[in-house]
Chains A and B, each alone.
Chain A
Amino acid sequence: MSETVGSQRLAVRVAGRESGDVAAAARERADAPVVEAGSTGVPGVEPLLAASDGDETTFYANATPADAEAVADALAGDGALPDGDATVDTADAAALPLPDLDGFGAERSVLARCGWIAPTNPDAYADAVGFTDADPDAVVESAGGVLGRGWGDWSADEPVGPLWEGVRERDGSPAVVVNAHGNPGDALLGESDPFSVLEGAAHVARVVDAVQVFVYVSEDDEAARDALTAAADAYPDFPVDVSVVEGPAAYRAAEPTMAIEAVEGNHRLEARLRPPGPEVEGVFGEPTVVHTARTVAHVAAAVRGEPTDSRVLSVTGDADEATLELTADDALDTALDAAGVSDYTGVLVGGRFGGLTTDLDVTPTPDALDAADLGTDGVLEVLGPDACPVAFVGKRAQFAEDANCGRCVPCREGSKQLTELLRDVYEGSLDRPKIDELMRVMESSSVCAFGQHAPRPVRTGLQEFAEEFEAHAQGTCPAGQCLSDATGEEPARAKP
């Protein structure tokens, strides 16, 4: 199979979307195999052309068909490879050799194959790591301690083993929902390494003796949907029925019970009451395991015997988007350095409703993030040097107001009142006790994690940027973003 590269000496790879023309140009000239890989997680450099010659790979960022032709000619023996943007020793043909370019980081474990192998070719995956067919007890033994990743995981920050045991012991026809909705890390794995996602899901399905696996994606993540669908069709002997299900792109739709509602085909998504959770009554009332794509990819890695304490993180916001990996010992600022971000007002750590901070000397483990009042959803949203933190947290409260499911009062009405209380700051009223009381009640009494976490940007922002809030109450915006001038005129509208 020409797409399979394996250990061949010469190869051309083109990673990322919009890479078809580049790959076609290379195919026209080259005798060497040309692989179209999925995204590397660093869309800013894509299409990324990688020319491997022996033990060395040269990368060409934002490659054009002309670049591809030049590289193909060189590999065919007509001269030396053109100068690239980075050159790396390639010892391991199974993993992307990390180029010294912004956004790639220093190590990759579950992301190792993203942007390197043909994502939907089972032979490529088999060559790279191989499909593992471990028996259920061995899976529990090796992967039961993996911590669930992401806000869409029903065992977020908890070991997955006890969840599986509960479902395994319960009567019924269990289901597994792989929640690949929304988070850029989950979408990247779905797009670029769908077999590792499906392999992890197969392990979980065997452990709980599931009758059905649903892979749930956002309708906006077409590349992930297509890759996961193709991989599910091509998967050798997937143990149970597997189907890829689309849900609406809205952020709330990734909440675990809303994911189940979407899988069931409900036209309007709403959080379900709990307890009991999906492990007791999930898809069509059957016991159900809900894990994110990141979680099951880590499960697959654990079964292969690889370490699983690394963390997939995505840098977003006022920065070039990049999804990379940190070890449990790396501080978060390592990720920003790797993404080429050096100047910022603050970073919202841990998803849409993460914590706002300037102190990034925190490791990405749930315990450390929790101690720092930060979120664990693996997104580092950068507020650039000119950004106003007061406007930012206000807009985040407004997002909670606009994007909640509408079910429970503390979230639906609380987020509306929280937004109003923050607007009042612009009128000179900063009522901390009233804001704190409201946030406490939203956190303690909302039905799901959406409402429970929605106040966190505000709470942490008030703490980290107390002076900026006071200044706004006095009629000035230190960042100059919110108020046209200090004369007390009408505040200018911030950019959406």
Chain B
Amino acid sequence: MSSHEPEPHSEFDVPPLTETIAPGTASDPDVTSAETATVTVDGQEVEVEAGSTLLDAVEEVETDEYVPALCHYDRQDIGPRSECRTCMVETDEGVVPACSTPAEDGLDVSTDAAPASEARDVNLDLVLSDHNLRCTTCGKNGRCDLQDVSIENDVEEPRYGVLDDRDEYEPIDDTSDFIQIDRNKCILCNRCVEACNDVQVEGVLRMEGHGGDTRIGFQNGSDTMEGSTCVSCGHCVTVCPTGSLVEKGIEDATTIPLPGFNQKNSVGKVVESADVEKGPMTPMKRDQVTETTRETGGDEERDWP
């Protein structure tokens, strides 16, 4: 068992050491090629350098079919997370995710094989099934990756519908002065968690829960952005592919101006700031409580149907 007890911070207020960061995500292996490789994509030979994935090769050429690769980011040490599986392609070894399969010499990639095409379409619709598709009230309307790939993929009516059950809506977290979170739009791509932990080394955000309760939370256990150790650097917002994280002040920037209709009341529930005198802008890092209790259970059965 790992005996990496976090070093207690000294009495000085110092940035957290990376060992104390608990993002709640798996330690993925390196999923890039070790050497330069030549792969064939829809009949065209592509040479990619060492450290490449099949998606790098796919992006080099005009493919027969569109490969959304929605959750892919691949900049600033973020990703691949390979969570949305909208980049499935067919190879000699079956259907694989292009974003997280190393480019190996001689691999033959096909984007228009029926199983790959079906998997990309179904998975994109599955993403949409858990998304609050209220684009006209969203501050990211017109600058949203999910919207872009849905249009590009000719999604007209997602086969599983969209999240439109108001009982299931999570309140918008409007407590921070700088960043608003609407988890009803979150696709759990994990970019914000990696930007926060791996790039900014701030250790604020984490992935928590499992199954349908999986969500972005805070490493200090706070329920709200205001109570978290966020320093408002804004990196999470810049990498968010949807309207889940937006800068305060421009959350209605692209909202179609219908009287009385805006981002907040489209969901109906909002957690507002407690509006108390804050003193220092964020809680001190040394107050940070890292979750150490393990997840338990989750296997109990519910009623049926």
Interface residues of A (CB under 8 A from B): 214, 219, 243, 245, 247-252, 257, 261, 263-277, 280-281, 284-285, 391, 394-395, 398-399, 401-410, 412-417, 420, 422-423, 426, 434, 437-438, 440-441, 444-447, 482, 491, 493-494, 496
Contact between chains at B29 and A276 (CB < 8 Å): yes
11 A-B pairs with CB atoms under 8 Å apart are A248-B296, A249-B297, A273-B31, A275-B29, A391-B304, A399-B301, A410-B119, A412-B212, A412-B214, A482-B305, A494-B305
Contact pick for A406, options B122, B211, B294, CB 8 Å: B211
Cα–Cα, bound, A426→B115 (Å): 30
Q: Which residue of B lies closest to A442 (CB)?
A: B122
**Given A261-B26, A402-B299, 19 more pairs with CB closer than 8 A:** A249-B296, A250-B210, A250-B295, A273-B28, A276-B29, A277-B29, A281-B29, A285-B29, A399-B301, A406-B207, A407-B26, A412-B211, A437-B122, A440-B119, A444-B88, A445-B95, A445-B123, A482-B305, A496-B304
Verify if B84 is at the interface (C-beta below 8 Å from A).
Answer: yes
Contact flag A406-B210 (CB < 8 Å), given A273-B100, A275-B101:
yes
User: Beta-carbon contacts of B125-152 to A below 8 Å, as 1s and 0s?
Assistant: 0110110000000000000000000000
Query: With the chains together, A351 CA to B234 CA distance in Å?
Result: 46
Residues of chain B lying within 8 A (CB to CB) of residue A414: 122, 126
Which 6 residue pairs of A and B lie closest in terms of their CB atoms, listed nearest first? A406-B214, A265-B2, A281-B29, A268-B24, A413-B126, A441-B122
Chain B residue, CB-CB nearest to A423? B305
**Smallest Cβ-Cβ distance to A496: which chain B residue:** B301
- Please indicate the chain A residues that have their CB under 8 angstroms from the CB of B291 in the complex: 267-268
Q: How far is the CA of A493 from the CA of B305 in the complex (A)?
A: 7
**Interface residue B118 (Cβ < 8 Å from any Cβ of A):** yes
One of A391, A404, A416, A447 near B210 (C-beta < 8 A): A404
Flag whether B42 is at the interface (Cβ < 8 A).
no
Selected from A267, A273, A420, A444, the residue in CB contact (under 8 A) with B119 is A444
Q: Are A271 and B129 in touch, CB under 8 angstroms?
A: no
Q: Which residue of A lies closest to B189 (CB)?
A: A409
- Give Cα distance in the complex from A243 to B188, angstroms: 35
Which of A272, A417, A422, A445 has a CB less than 8 Å from the CB of B88? A445
Residues from chain A with a CB closer than 8 A to the CB of B261 are none
Query: Nearest B residue to A426 by beta-carbon distance?
Result: B305
B29 — which chain A residues lie within 8 A by C-beta?
Answer: 272-277, 280-281, 285
Most buried by B among A269, A405, A434, A440: A405
Taking CB atoms, residues of chain A closer than 8 Å to B119 are 410, 440-441, 444-445
Contact of B28 with A272 in the complex, beta carbons under 8 Å: yes
Whether B304 and A267, one on each chain, are in contact in the complex, defined by CB atoms closer than 8 angstroms, is no
Residues of chain B within 8 A (CB-CB) of A402 are 211-212, 298-302
Q: How far is the CA of A496 from the CA of B189 in the complex (A)?
A: 33
Give A426 to B101 CA distance when docked, in angstroms: 41
Min CB distance A245 to B, Å, is 5
Query: Given that A263-B1, A441-B123 are known contacts, is A273 also in contact with B82, CB under 8 Å in the complex?
Result: yes
User: CA of A144 to CA of B249 in the docked complex: distance in angstroms?
Assistant: 64
Query: Which residues, 273 to 299 on B, are CB-close (under 8 Å) to A?
Result: 291-299
Q: How far is the CB of B16 from chain A (nearest CB, A)?
A: 16
**A residues near B83, Cβ cutoff 8 Å:** 407-409
Complex interface: chain A residues within 8 A of B115 (CB)? 440, 444
CB distance from A145 to the nearest CB of B (A): 24
Contact call B4/A268, Cβ cutoff below 8 A: no
Query: Are A395 and B102 also in contact (CB < 8 A) when A264-B27, A267-B22, A407-B83 are?
Result: no
A268 near B212 with CB under 8 A, answer: no
Does B295 contact A422, Cβ atoms closer than 8 Å?
no
Inter-chain contacts of B209 with A (CB < 8 A) = 406
Do B299 and A403 touch across chains, with their CB atoms under 8 A apart?
Answer: yes
- Chain A residue numbers with a CB within 8 Å of B210 are 250, 252, 268-269, 403-406
Q: A496: which B residues are within 8 A, CB to CB?
A: 301-304
- Contact (Cβ within 8 A) B303 A281: no
Q: For B295, what are the chain A residues with a Cβ–Cβ distance below 8 Å?
A: 248, 250, 267-269
Q: CB within 8 A of A398: which of B1, B26, B27, B301?
A: B301
Residues of A close to B302: CB separation below 8 A: 395, 398, 402, 496
Q: Closest CB-CB distance, B4 to chain A, in whole Å? A: 7
CA of A496 to CA of B301, assembled, Å:
6
- Bound together, the chains give a CA A214 to CA B101 distance in angstroms of 29
Assess the A395–B160 pair: CB atoms within 8 A.
no
Residue-wise interface mask of B (85-116) relative to A, using a CB-CB cutoff of 8 A (1 in contact, 0 not): 11010000011010011100000000000010
CA distance A494 to B305 in the complex (A): 7
Q: How far is the CA of A291 from the CA of B117 in the complex (A)?
A: 35
Q: Is the CB of A413 within 8 A of B214?
A: no
B266 within 8 Å of A (CB atoms): no
User: Is B11 engaged at the interface, CB distance under 8 Å to the other chain?
Assistant: no
Give Cα A257 to B25, complex, Å: 12
CB-CB under 8 A from B4, the residues of chain A are: 265
| B115, B160, B292, B293 — most chain A CB neighbours (10 Å) | B160
Q: Is B159 an interface residue (CB 8 A)?
A: yes
A250 partner residues in chain B, CB cutoff 8 A: 210, 295-299
Within 8 Å of chain A (Cβ to Cβ): is B208? yes
